[in-house]
């Protein structure tokens, strides 16, 4: 790749958010861009060069320490950056921008809303302002900071890799405990929405009439319309097991003394061994995700779909299982796509793993602050 993309000076403003014009970054420009991925318990730091290449495939990890308060979290983020710089023989003088990936919801840009994974005292926290000041103190100068939803920024990183310099839209799904969703436009930037909560595509209703008229599952968000997340992720496995286990009355789990949690957490391992019950459940999840994919592609019309999450992790699943899962997703989606979409659509596995959100944050910093005109 001989150039990246940067955001030049604003062309217009809409509300409180500035609109930027993208332009290429010449390879001659130097500097590095860092990304902080703030999780509930662990924060990770990564970085890229001005051409978008990774500084290191190894993340620096540090404790988030949210139980110790806001200042402790900020110290953890700065400790992570200092450690990453030291490990890679870099200095603050080389840093041209920083991105922060952090879960919402937000009250406004850079201001935390009520999060289920943080203490109540974090509500209303202007983490953008506080982290910006801490970065300036550590660097001895102001360094521009951009913040955004962690799932969106993970999508940015995977989109950067899969597009390989081309302009194309990318949709990403990351089924885990919940369903992370992100849409990244052809310029490499995520769809944030006006309320800055990221793309909560996992809480759209599933087309239950195409899923055997299964009943609306409970979802942690409180909606009762059958959120897609409940049919495609770990959070919904207990309810899926209740539906599918009666179809396999002689299965060992039918008489097992394991707890419900232990039963559902055994399913992925069982599926790698060809267990019929486990495969039925994950085939259902693939179909539900494929239908959701088709639904979103009708609106977003992108060429690439990236599938992340534990079910396509090479260290946790077999190649045969991963291929079966991806085939199931595509088979469910294709009947509902336009012919041109079917021909061009590429469904690919995520490749960055735990690197994605920190690297995505660094990429957005590069796109915004990598060049001035």
Each residue of 280-329: pLDDT tens digit?
Answer: 999 999 999 999 999 999 999 999 999 998 899 998 999 999 999 999 99
Are 44 and 173 in a shared domain?
A: no
Question: In this predicted structure, what is the pLDDT of residue 19?
Answer: 37
Do 268 and 216 belong together in one domain?
A: yes
pLDDT above 70 as % of the chain: 91
3-state helix, strand, coil in the chain (%, to 5): 45, 20, 35
Our measurement of the distance from residue 206's CA atom to the centroid of its chain's CA atoms, rounded to an integer in Å, reads 20
Q: Is the pLDDT of residue 80 over 60?
A: yes
Q: Is 53 exposed, middle or buried (0-12, 13-18, 19+ CB in 10 A)?
A: exposed
Q: How far is CA 185 from CA 85, 87, 171, 189, in A?
A: 31, 33, 9, 6
Residues near 14 by Cβ (< 8 Å), separated by ≥ 6? Answer: none
pLDDT at 196: 62
Is residue 7 assigned to a domain?
no
> Which of 103, 129, 148 is at the close of a domain?
148
CATH number of the domain encompassing residue 272: 3.30.420.40
Q: Is residue 360 part of a domain?
A: no
- Residues 358, 160, 34: CA angle, nearest 5 degrees: 30
Give pLDDT tens digits for 86-138: 999 999 999 999 999 998 788 999 999 887 678 889 999 999 999 999 999 99
Q: Examine the domain organization and report whether 321 and 197 are in the same domain.
A: yes
pLDDT at 27: 38
- Report how many domains make up the chain: 2
Full-model pTM:
0.80
The predicted structure's pLDDT at residue 79: 94
| More confident position, 28 or 294 | 294
Assess if residue 111 is contained within a domain. Answer: yes
Residue numbers of the domain that contains 279: 159-352
pLDDT digits (tens, 9 = 90+) for 161-215: 999 888 999 999 999 888 989 999 998 889 887 776 677 899 999 999 999 999 9
142-151, 184-193, 336-345: lowest mean pLDDT where? 184-193
313 and 195 housed in the same domain: yes
Considering the domain architecture, whether residues 259 and 287 belong to the same structural domain is answered as yes
């Amino acid at each position: 790749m001989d150039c990246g993309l940067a955001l030049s000076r604003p062309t217009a403003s809409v509300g409180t958010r500035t609109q930027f014009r993208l332009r290429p970054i010449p390879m001659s420009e130097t500097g590095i861009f860092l990304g902080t991925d703030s999780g509930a318990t662990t924060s990770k730091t990564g970085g890229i060069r001005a051409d978008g290449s990774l500084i290191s495939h190894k993340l620096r990890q540090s404790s988030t320490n949210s139980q110790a308060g806001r200042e402790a979290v900020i110290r953890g983020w700065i400790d992570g950056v200092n450690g990453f710089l030291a490990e890679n023989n870099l200095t603050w003088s080389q840093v041209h921008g920083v991105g922060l990936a952090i879960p919402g919801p937000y009250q406004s840009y850079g201001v935390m809303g009520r999060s289920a994974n943080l203490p109540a005292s974090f509500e209303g926290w202007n983490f953008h302002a506080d982290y910006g000041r801490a970065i300036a103190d550590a660097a001895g100068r102001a360094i521009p900071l951009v913040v955004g939803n962690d799932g969106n920024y993970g999508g940015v990183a995977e989109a950067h890799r899969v597009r390989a310099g081309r302009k194309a839209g990318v949709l990403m799904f990351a089924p885990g405990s919940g369903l992370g969703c992100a849409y990244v436009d052809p310029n490499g930037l995520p769809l944030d929405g006006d309320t800055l909560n990221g793309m909560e595509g996992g809480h759209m209703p599933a087309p239950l009439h195409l899923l055997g008229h299964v009943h609306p599952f409970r979802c942690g968000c409180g909606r009762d319309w059958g959120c897609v997340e409940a049919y495609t992720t770990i959070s919904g496995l207990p309810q899926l097991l209740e539906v599918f286990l009666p179809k396999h009355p002689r299965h060992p789990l039918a008489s097992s003394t394991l707890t419900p949690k232990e039963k559902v957490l055994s399913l992925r391992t069982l599926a790698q061994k060809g267990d019929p019950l486990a495969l039925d459940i994950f085939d259902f999840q693939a179909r539900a995700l494929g239908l959701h994919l088709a639904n979103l592609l009708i609106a977003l019309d992108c060429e690439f779909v990236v599938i992340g999450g534990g079910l396509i992790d090479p260290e946790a699943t077999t190649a045969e299982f991963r291929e079966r899962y991806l085939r199931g997703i595509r088979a469910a989606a294709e009947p509902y796509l336009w012919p041109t979409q079917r021909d061009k659509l590429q469904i690919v596995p995520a490749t960055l793993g735990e690197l994605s959100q920190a690297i995505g944050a660094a990429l957005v910093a590069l796109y915004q602050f990598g060049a001035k005109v």
